[in-house]
Amino acid sequence: MCRIADEIKPCWPIPEVLTIIAKFLPTLAIVPTGDLLRESVKVKEKLKVAEMNPMRYRGKPRLGTVVELIRTTDCLGNRLRDVRVPCLILHGSADVVTDPNVSSALYEESFERG
């Protein structure tokens, strides 16, 4: 995952406000997001196994984790042109979390360098 889809990220100014709050309360579980398990696991049998996993976190994401995830994926997305290794780029059409445009941009950037 190089960048989070814009449809998933909260709109301005929420990320900026949450970033400030995260400096003081990084473990605060207030991020308004649903459980992405059903979105990310499509095979019924695997979904059952994932739901039974006792190590699976079921609470809301921690504020510090979400802020860092957004910061890191934005940084990665802005540095796609720096990828200098051979790579195979795959992106599923049913992916609702990661942005398919970033996968396309990674392909374009790597293709231009030959």
Q: pLDDT band for 88, please (50, 70, 90 cuts).
A: confident
pLDDT at position 34 is 72
Tell me the residue range of the domain where 101 lies: 14-113
CA 99/CA 74 separation, integer angstroms: 11
Residue 26 has pLDDT above 90, yes or no: yes
Q: Which residues contact 24 (CB under 8 A, 6 or more apart)?
A: none
Asked whether residue 90 is domain-assigned, the answer is yes
- Domain count along the chain: 1
pLDDT at position 94 is 77
Asked whether residue 8 is domain-assigned, the answer is no
Residue 113 has pLDDT above 80, yes or no: no
CA-based angle 41:45:46, to the nearest 5? 40
Min mean pLDDT across 34-38, 53-57, 67-71, 72-76 is at: 34-38
